[in-house]
């Protein structure tokens, strides 16, 4: 006869063969079982009962595996959601960096434009300074002529 036991730690089934040492109390049942065992129905029923226990145990193992798989699926889905959220955040950061780079480029272009305008203003100032110097020379020369004419009249 086989007896199935569940081991606590490993969750495995162990097979135990019952010893042939019968107690005197079991002798009466043995004689009735001997009659049944001639046909084999008792043993067959015992085997069926043990097989049912084994099937129940296997069913429990399958249920536990399904529960573990369900937990793993949930954990994986949670991780997937977290990773998608991180990816979205990184895309937003990347867009921000791109926007800032465009802003910096625009500022650099504006600065160049202002520098060019400042150079143009500097050129205009230099040109006007030259013209003003020319006018100043003309005025000085005319002032000197007027003085000379006055001095010449006065000496006459």
pLDDT tens-digit map of 125-142: 999 999 999 999 999 999
pLDDT of residue 35: 53
Alpha helices in the chain (DSSP H): 26-39, 41-155
pLDDT of residue 152: 86
Q: How far apart are CA 11 and CA 69, in angstroms?
A: 17
Q: Mean pLDDT, to the nearest integer, of 29-43?
A: 63
Q: Mean pLDDT, to the nearest integer, of 6-32?
A: 47
Asked whether the predicted pLDDT for residue 28 surpasses 80, the reply is no
Q: Mean pLDDT, to the nearest integer, of 121-128?
A: 95
What range defines the domain where residue 43 resides? Answer: 2-100
Q: How far apart are CA 68 and CA 73, in angstroms?
A: 9
16 inside domain: yes
Q: How far apart are CA 4 and CA 2, in angstroms?
A: 7
Q: Mean pLDDT, to the nearest integer, of 104-133?
A: 96
Q: What angle do CA 81, 82, 84 make, to 5 degrees?
A: 65
- pLDDT mean across residues, the chain: 83
Confidence of residue 34 (pLDDT cuts 50, 70, 90): low
155 inside domain: no
- Per the structure, the count of domains in the chain is 1
Q: How far apart are CA 64 and CA 10, in angstroms?
A: 13
6 inside domain: yes
Q: How far apart are CA 32 and CA 11, in angstroms?
A: 36
pLDDT tens-digit map of 54-85: 999 999 999 999 999 999 999 999 999 999 99
Q: Is 67 helix (H, G, I), strand (E, B) or coil?
A: helix
| CB proximity list for 7: less than 8 A, separation 6 or greater | 13, 14
pLDDT of residue 56: 95
pLDDT of residue 4: 46
Q: How far apart are CA 65 and CA 62, in angstroms?
A: 5
Asked whether the predicted pLDDT for residue 20 surpasses 70, the reply is no
Whole-number Cα distances in Å, 16 to 4, 13, 85, 101: 7, 10, 55, 76
């Amino acid at each position: 006869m086989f007896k199935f036991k569940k081991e606590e730690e490993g969750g495995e089934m162990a097979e135990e063969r019952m010893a042939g040492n019968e107690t005197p109390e079991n002798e009466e049942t043995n004689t009735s079982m001997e009659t049944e065992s001639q046909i084999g129905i008792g043993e067959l029923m015992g085997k069926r009962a043990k097989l049912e226990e084994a099937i129940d145990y296997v069913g429990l193992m399958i249920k536990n595996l399904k529960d573990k798989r369900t937990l793993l699926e949930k954990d994986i889905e949670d991780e997937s959601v977290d990773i998608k959220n991180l990816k979205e955040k990184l895309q937003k950061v990347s867009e921000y960096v791109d926007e800032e780079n465009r802003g910096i480029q625009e500022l650099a272009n504006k600065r160049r434009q202002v520098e060019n305008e400042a150079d143009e203003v500097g050129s205009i100032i230099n040109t006007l300074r030259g013209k003003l110097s020319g006018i100043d020379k003309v005025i000085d020369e005319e002032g000197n002529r007027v003085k000379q004419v006055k001095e010449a009249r006065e000496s006459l």
